[in-house]
Amino acid sequence: MSKTILVTGGLGYIGSHTVVELQENNYNVVVIDNLSNSVKDVADRITSITGKPVKLYIADVNDSASLEALFELEAIDGVIHFAAHKAVGESVQDPFKYYRNNIDGMITLQKIMYHYQVKTIVFSSSCTVYGDTKNSPIVETHPVTEAISPYGTTKLVCEQILKDLCKHSGFKGVILRYFNPVGAHSSARIGELPLGVPDNLVPYITQTAAGLREKLTVFGNDYNTPDGTNIRDYIHVVDLAKAHVKALDYAFEMHQNCEIFNLGTGKGHSVLEVIKAFEKVSGKNLPYVIGARRAGDVEQIWADATKAEKLLRWTCQYDLSAMMKDAWKWQLAFDDSQ
């Protein structure tokens, strides 16, 4: 019989793509989302891709009464926990918002899971836990002692909570450390929602090309990298979503344990390379200027993803041009639908 998976934050950017992959792999999916960074309509968009309805609870993972009601009604076998705030800069301005939502949410969810003896969980972590390191490609055993922002702290604390529960309380946890997710589903029906001025590079590029922003500012070209701009490991969101299905399968099969996996392509690209790749697939000249460094930016980081490749039997299918192509397609489709 198909297993039923609770996806917290399942209407968000990575969550929605993962719900598609889960449904396409015959998992039953139940979503809980408080719409703090998404809209209800995403559920219909998911259905338009998979042909399957999304069972949706609009509620907060910090609200234990709502979670309890959900666990009473649904026979949940496992959980993928995406629900969290994710803006690094905002977390510096308002750290308590991040501690409350991300850490309290994790604790509330784990407590209910424990109560209902649902102990299989995949948790969304981030490469931000590695901080400012020059040791790329980064392996999972790289030290993660000091976070570079309150957002990063929330990821480290949640990882630690999950490790404790795996060690002492019978949980089976998979921690996924994402590098830089970009792009959108090739149907252009789901993608990252453009709420406000984007902080991240790729949405800023696509909005500039669409004429919504005047120009892109490249944050510094005086780094110690081949072209002077920062290097990141950009990963197509669909590749990332597919890794969640593999991680879930893996978690169900393993014994009480906690495993950590990097999810990246294993290749680093500079900001200028991303711009060039975008210009090539879109046929547009992107207006950009070189500006000052952005505070807190890590010079260069990319993943060693061999552990995920070996144990999860997962590899990335999409390269940088496919990422740019789908990001642009989503930008154009989203503009049309407004």
Q: Which is nearer to ligand NAD, 82 or 171 (CB)?
A: 82
Q: Assess contact for 286 and 218: CB atoms under 8 A.
A: no
Structure tokens at 316: 């990335």
**What gap in Å lies between CA 140 and CA 176, rounded to an integer?**
10
Which position among 23, 66, 91, 124 is part of the footprint of ligand NAD (CB under 6 A)? 124
Range 97-126, binding ligand WQD (CB under 6 A): 126
Distance of closest approach, residue 186 Cβ to ligand NAD, in angstroms: 18
Q: Is 38 in the site for ligand NAD (CB under 6 A)?
A: yes
Q: Is 22 in the site for ligand NAD (CB under 6 A)?
A: no
Q: Is 178 in the site for ligand NAD (CB under 6 A)?
A: yes
**What gap in Å lies between CA 109 and CA 289, rounded to an integer?**
45
CA distances from 56 to 31, 50, 107, 330 (A): 5, 15, 22, 24
Q: Which is nearer to ligand WQD, 90 or 297 (CB)?
A: 297
Contact segment (CB under 6 A) with ligand WQD among 53-61, 216-224, 245-253, 310-318 equals 216-224
Distance of closest approach, residue 41 Cβ to ligand WQD, in angstroms: 24
Find the catalytic residue in 151, 204, 223, 234. Answer: 151
Q: Assess contact for 50 and 44: CB atoms under 8 A.
A: no
Which position among 204, 261, 330, 334 is part of the footprint of ligand WQD (CB under 6 A)? 204
Show the binding pattern over residues 284-313: x = contacts ligand WQD (CB under 6 A), - = does not. Answer: ----------x--x----------------
Q: Is 158 in the site for ligand WQD (CB under 6 A)?
A: no
How many CB atoms are located within 10 Å of the residue 253 CB? 9
How large is the angle between the packed helices 320-337 and 201-209, nearest 10 degrees?
A: 60
CB proximity list for 67: less than 8 A, separation 6 or greater: 32, 59, 61, 108, 109, 112
Range 217-246, binding ligand NAD (CB under 6 A): none
Q: Which is nearer to ligand NAD, 186 or 256 (CB)?
A: 186
**What gap in Å lies between CA 40 and CA 23, rounded to an integer?**
18
Closest CA to 262 of 166, 133, 137, 152: 137
How many CB atoms are located within 10 Å of the residue 163 CB? 15
From ligand WQD, ligand NAD, none, which one binds at residue 294 (CB under 5 to 8 Å depending on kind)? ligand WQD
Contact segment (CB under 6 A) with ligand NAD among 3-11, 298-306, 316-324, 330-338 equals 3-11
Q: Assess contact for 184 and 192: CB atoms under 8 A.
A: yes
Q: Which is nearer to ligand WQD, 128 or 282 (CB)?
A: 128
Q: Which is nearer to ligand NAD, 275 or 303 (CB)?
A: 303
Is 204 an annotated catalytic residue? no
Closest CA to 83 of 11, 147, 179, 182: 11
Distance of closest approach, residue 118 Cβ to ligand WQD, in angstroms: 25
From ligand NAD, ligand WQD, none, which one binds at residue 38 (CB under 5 to 8 Å depending on kind)? ligand NAD
Show the binding pattern over residues 122-141: x = contacts ligand WQD (CB under 6 A), - = does not. Answer: ----x-x-------------
Q: Is 262 in the site for ligand NAD (CB under 6 A)?
A: no
Write the burial class of residue 232 (CB in 10 Å: 0-12 exposed, 13-18 middle, 19+ buried). buried
CB proximity list for 280: less than 8 A, separation 6 or greater: 321, 324
Q: Assess contact for 50 and 75: CB atoms under 8 A.
A: no
Which residues are known catalytic residues?
151
Q: Which residues are near ligand NAD by CB under 6 A?
A: 8-9, 11-15, 32-38, 60-62, 82-84, 86, 101, 105, 124, 126, 178, 181
